[in-house]
Amino acid sequence: MEWSNETVLKFLEWDENEPVIWNASLPNHKNRNDVYDAWNRNEVKMDKKYTITKLKKKKDSLMATFRACLNKVKQSLKSKAGTDEIEKPPWFAYEEMAKFLRHKNLRRTINTQDISTKKMATMIKRRLLLVEIDRPARDNNDSMFANTKY
């Protein structure tokens, strides 16, 4: 069954009102029963036209499209474009989803091409320091990198 734009927007509105589904920072986000109940409420609101499985697939599809649009917006901001040149996605559902997802951690990744060599070296040293703190030294050498194997 094809989803109309109106149906998608209603679904997103109901999804926004069920943060246990999309907000991983909530304590009950990991509670299967709470999440299932939220999906079930959305299924009922959709007059049971779509199963929970189909609703989940639709959410995944919408999230993929939203992430692609959001990345375009972020890239236009990185290019230091003027305010008139900032990407404004033409996708009908972007604004509705951005209302409640823009500030959530969608996927945190590091683009190593954007990181300078000096910054990367600092990140590696910090990582090694954390390893050293967690692991007791095997010898009396006080060097931070004494037990690091290369």
Higher-pLDDT residue of 102 and 40 is: 40
pLDDT for residue 138 is more than 90: no
- Per-residue model confidence (pLDDT) at position 134: 45
Residue 17: which of 39, 50, 49 has the closest Cα?
39
CA pair distance 48, 127, nearest whole angstrom: 50
Q: Quick one: CA torsion of 150, 147, 125, 111, rounded to 10 degrees?
A: 50
- Per-residue model confidence (pLDDT) at position 84: 63
Where are the chain's structural domains?
5-107, 110-150
Mean of the pLDDT values across residues 47-71? 93
Radius of gyration over every alpha carbon of the chain, rounded to an integer in angstroms:
22
Please state which of the ranges 17-21, 38-42, 71-75 shows the lowest mean pLDDT. 71-75
CA pair distance 99, 23, nearest whole angstrom: 13
Location of structure tokens 């697939």: 57
CA pair distance 7, 136, nearest whole angstrom: 58
Do residues 51 and 4 touch, judged by C-beta distance below 8 A?
no
pLDDT for residue 117 is more than 80: no
Tokens for 95, please give them: 């604004």
- Per-residue model confidence (pLDDT) at position 33: 95
Q: DSSP character for 42?
A: H
Q: Quick one: CA torsion of 111, 117, 122, 126, rounded to 10 degrees?
A: 50
Q: What pTM value is reported for the model?
A: 0.64
pLDDT band at 50 (very low <50, low <70, confident <90, very high): very high
Q: What is the pLDDT of residues 98-116, one digit of tens each?
A: 888 876 644 455 555 556 6
